Amino acid sequence: MICVQDTRRLMANFDALRSSEILPSGEDAKILGAFYTDTQIAEFLVRWAVRSKDDRVLDPSLGGGVFLRAACERITTLHGTPSSQVYGIEIDRNVHVRIRDKLVDEFGVKRSNLRNSDFFDTERSQFDKIDVVVGNPPFIRYQRFNGDSRRKALEKSLENGVQLSKLASSWAPFVVHGVSFLKQGGRLAFVIPMEVAYTAYSIPILKFLHNSFREVTFLTFQKKLFPDLNEDTLLLLADDKGHGPGKFLTRDFSHAGMLRYQEFKNTSEVFDRTEIDSRALTEAERRLIEGTSNNALTSPNLGSERHPASVF
Ligand SMILES: C[S@@+](CC[C@H](N)C(=O)[O-])C[C@H]1O[C@@H](n2cnc3c(N)ncnc32)[C@H](O)[C@@H]1O
């Protein structure tokens, strides 16, 4: 089993990442999980995921639009047509209107491509032939993630064969529903919480990713990606939908600035990854089934505490 700590290297100091504009703020931000992504991270994920001038890109929780802006720029560089290849969904009406208008003005994105809706009310048929799903889904813990929105989210996961526990945070059904929009061979690139590596409720998600993609890479960082967020986060790069079961790979960076060095290699691929023995996943599942983590399953702290079903 690979331990993230093992791969960590000491690096020189790095200035704290500039947090991008955070809208909405305070309680509203917590309720909607609205902590926006730094441009550099969004650009890296988009650059990795979007490879062809014809790629169609969806951000299911577009927020401040940083991923879709990066997608428009990337598609323009590849000589594609961002106005018709970029799609997004946002539940917050005010944010949606402001960002939609900016994307329409700046890149001519079709207004009808940018919808004000709950992602879990959105059917696959509404966004056809998506090559890339990219974004930073809301991290709303189960205590706040309740009622109708939770019911719809868990139902959508079940439609894709993934039964999530009542302790799952909102990012988990976003991953499952997001994957369902991808066509064969598609890529998903998300910012997700570190919880994916050590909570019992994540195990069905890890199995789903393992079965759905040829390669699933987890990029971890010693320096927090979101200095304002309590939660540690990582980058999930899932490649080649429909060609699993695949492999799990990891790469640990000292800080997000290191992502720039990837670009010097003049490719969107990530080098020097370490494969995680897939037995780690089987083992975590076994421990879960055997009940070593039964207490954890019912513990109110499961959303954040490390427990024996850790995968890496
Ligand atoms: C973590 S923010 C990320 C925004 C943007 N992708 C970024 O990285 O800057 C999550 C966004 O998801 C939106 N959101 C929350 N629940 C949603 C849902 N069920 N459907 C669509 N959007 C949702 C929030 O309003 C917020 O803008």
Residue 33 confidence (pLDDT):
63
Q: Distance (Å, rounded) from C-alpha 225 to C-alpha 37?
A: 9
Residue 298 confidence (pLDDT):
32
Residue 133 confidence (pLDDT):
98
The percent of residues in the chain predicted with pLDDT above 70, rounded, is 75
Does residue 303 have a pLDDT over 60?
no
List, for residues 51-108, the tens digit of each pLDDT value: 999 999 999 999 999 999 999 999 999 999 999 999 999 999 999 999 999 999 999 9
State the chain's mean pLDDT as an integer. 82
Give the torsion sign (CA, 47, 89, 176, 202): positive
Residue 262 confidence (pLDDT):
64
Residues with CB under 6 A from ligand 1: 32-37, 59, 61-64, 66-67, 89-92, 95, 118-120, 135-136, 138, 149
Q: Residue 278 class from Cβ within 10 Å (0-12 exposed, 13-18 middle, 19+ buried)?
A: middle
Does residue 111 have a pLDDT over 60?
yes
Q: Distance (Å, rounded) from C-alpha 136 to C-alpha 42?
A: 9
Q: Which CATH number fits domain 4-215+226-248: 3.40.50.970, 3.40.50.150, 2.10.77.10, 1.10.20.10?
A: 3.40.50.150
Task: Please tell me which residue, 198 or 52, carries the higher pLDDT value.
Answer: 52
The percent of residues in the chain predicted with pLDDT above 90, rounded, is 57
For the chain, strand residue ranges (E) read 57-59, 86-90, 114-116, 130-135, 182-193, 213-221, 233-241, 247-253, 274-276
Pocket test residue of 32, 45, 116, 133 for ligand 1, highest count of atoms within 8 A of CB: 32
Residue 27 confidence (pLDDT):
64
List, for residues 229-257, the tens digit of each pLDDT value: 888 899 999 999 999 999 999 999 888 88
**CA 88 / ligand 1 centre spacing (Å):** 10
Domain segments of the chain as ranges: 4-215+226-248
**CA 169 / ligand 1 centre spacing (Å):** 13
Buried (b) or exposed (e) across 281-297, using 16+ Cβ within 10 A?
Answer: bebbbebbeeeebeebb
C-beta separation of 176 from 156 below 8 A: yes
Q: Are strands 182-193 and 130-135 parallel, antiparallel or unpaired?
A: parallel
**Amino acid letter, 145:** F
